[in-house]
């Protein structure tokens, strides 16, 4: 099975965001006016179009995938409306879905313009205060351990990718097993690590440890309803739930639901594993905050440097 090539602190959408923010990709449009249409506009430097679609989505109370709110701020500021971008920051900051580190440091045209504006010094103080308040409410030792274990996981994963993937992933087994065994004890003691308990980054790290625990499909299946409950309560990422759902279904000998899992073919290309109802796939993916399949394949090809079918 091919493991996720994305940096662990980002979901699939954020991985596409990272690529698009670095250099435009050839991607395929999703439904008109959707989040992914806005993402494509941003990749084409159409900042006004991106801001228009995302602002409309916000007003309609639509779903923003992980990292989507930051794109709203970035596009609005890059389009030249710094006041409205500031208003978005003010509105979204209490949700915890805007990364303080990204707001303060990420080198992007819109964010750079925002930080150079006259209203930024006061906003910077508010961002820092909100971050301090957020961190004070978390289980800091647990969050720190989750982040450290996720970093070790990703170091092992990227080493395997650099070594050509395939059999090289066997070298990740000791790290993955140690992380899974540790997380089992955490869940037994404290329940699933939610946003409220360990923050967005800590919850993402916990999901990653489960997602990669293919050696223990019973553990993955046991964690799935916990993550589903958290996602329904707004305490976990729906995209994470979708990816783990696919892992569990495949381990049970069933087709995956969201088309997130690929395998490496004999010719070295990546191939989609068996997937139910291909005609309805993109609609299911969008509902969970996942890219359209064609765009996801482009992301995987860019990340792995190999063809994706």
Which two structure tokens, joined as six digits, stand for 218?
A: 């019973």
How many CB atoms lie under 10 A from the CB of residue 287? Answer: 12
Window from 62-66, 128-132, 142-146, 177-181 with minimum mean pLDDT: 62-66
> 173 in helix, strand or coil?
helix
Which two structure tokens, joined as six digits, stand for 21?
A: 């923010």
Q: What is the dihedral of CA 47, 61, 285, 95, to 10 degrees?
A: 80
pLDDT at 289: 85
Q: What does each C-alpha distance from 215 to 120, 148, 165, 259 come to in angstroms?
A: 48, 21, 17, 21
Contacts of 167 (CB under 8 A, 6+ apart): none
Q: Are strands 270-272 and 262-264 parallel, antiparallel or unpaired?
A: antiparallel
Nearest-angstrom CA–CA distance, 167 and 187: 31
Pick from 264, 208, 250, 291: nearest CA to 2:
264
Q: What is the mean pLDDT of residues 197-207?
A: 95
Q: Answer yes or no: are the C-beta atoms of 308 and 262 closer than 8 Å.
A: yes
How many CB atoms lie under 10 A from the CB of residue 81? Answer: 18
pLDDT at 115: 97
Window from 51-65, 176-190, 194-208 with minimum mean pLDDT: 51-65
Nearest-angstrom CA–CA distance, 212 and 223: 12
Over residues 118-136, the pLDDT tens digits come to: 999 999 999 999 999 989 9
Taking the alpha carbons of 44, 258, 202, 180 in that order, is the dihedral positive or negative?
Answer: negative
Mean pLDDT comparison of 71-75, 98-102, 163-167, 298-302, highest-scoring range: 71-75
Nearest-angstrom CA–CA distance, 294 and 286: 12
pLDDT at 33: 53
Over residues 238-261, the pLDDT tens digits come to: 999 999 999 999 999 999 999 999
Q: Answer yes or no: are the C-beta atoms of 131 and 100 closer than 8 Å.
A: yes
Mean of the per-residue pLDDT values of the chain = 87
Over residues 4-42, the pLDDT tens digits come to: 433 333 343 444 444 333 322 223 333 335 788 888 899
Q: Answer yes or no: are the C-beta atoms of 308 and 270 closer than 8 Å.
A: yes
Q: Answer yes or no: are the C-beta atoms of 281 and 258 closer than 8 Å.
A: yes
Q: How remote is the C-alpha of 244 from its chain's centroid? A: 13
Which string of b and e fits 165-198 if b means at least 16 CB within 10 Å?
beeebeebeebbeebbeebbebbeeeebbbbbbb
Over residues 223-243, the pLDDT tens digits come to: 999 999 999 999 999 999 999
pLDDT at 8: 30
């Amino acid at each position: 099975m091919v493991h996720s090539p994305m940096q662990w602190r980002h979901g699939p959408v954020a991985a596409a965001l990272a690529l698009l923010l670095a250099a435009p990709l050839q991607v395929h449009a999703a439904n008109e006016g959707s989040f992914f249409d806005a993402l494509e506009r941003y990749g084409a430097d159409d900042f006004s179009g991106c801001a228009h679609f995302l602002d409309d989505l916000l007003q309609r109370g639509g779903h923003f995938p992980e990292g989507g709110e930051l794109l709203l701020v970035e596009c609005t500021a890059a389009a030249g409306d710094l006041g409205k971008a500031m208003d978005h920051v003010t509105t979204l900051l209490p949700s915890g879905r805007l990364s303080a580190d990204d707001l303060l440091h990420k080198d992007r045209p819109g964010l750079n313009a925002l930080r150079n504006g006259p209203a930024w010094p006061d906003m910077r103080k508010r961002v820092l205060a909100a971050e301090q308040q957020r961190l004070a409410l978390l289980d800091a030792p647990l969050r720190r351990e989750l982040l450290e274990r996720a970093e070790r996981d990703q170091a092992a994963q990227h080493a395997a990718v650099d070594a050509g993937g395939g059999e090289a992933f066997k070298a990740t087994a000791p790290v993955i097993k140690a992380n899974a065994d540790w997380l089992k004890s955490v869940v037994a003691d404290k329940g699933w690590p939610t946003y409220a308990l360990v923050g967005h980054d800590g919850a993402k790290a916990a999901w990653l440890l489960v997602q990669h625990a293919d050696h223990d499909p019973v553990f993955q299946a046991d964690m799935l309803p916990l993550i589903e409950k958290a996602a329904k309560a707004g305490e976990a990422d729906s995209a994470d739930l979708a990816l783990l759902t696919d892992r569990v279904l495949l381990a049970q000998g069933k087709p995956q639901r969201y088309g997130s899992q690929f395998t490496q073919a004999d010719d070295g290309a990546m191939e989609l594993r068996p997937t139910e109802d291909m005609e309805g796939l993109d609609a299911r993916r969008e509902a969970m905050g996942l890219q359209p399949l064609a765009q996801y394949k482009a992301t995987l090809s860019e990340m792995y440097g190999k063809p994706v079918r």
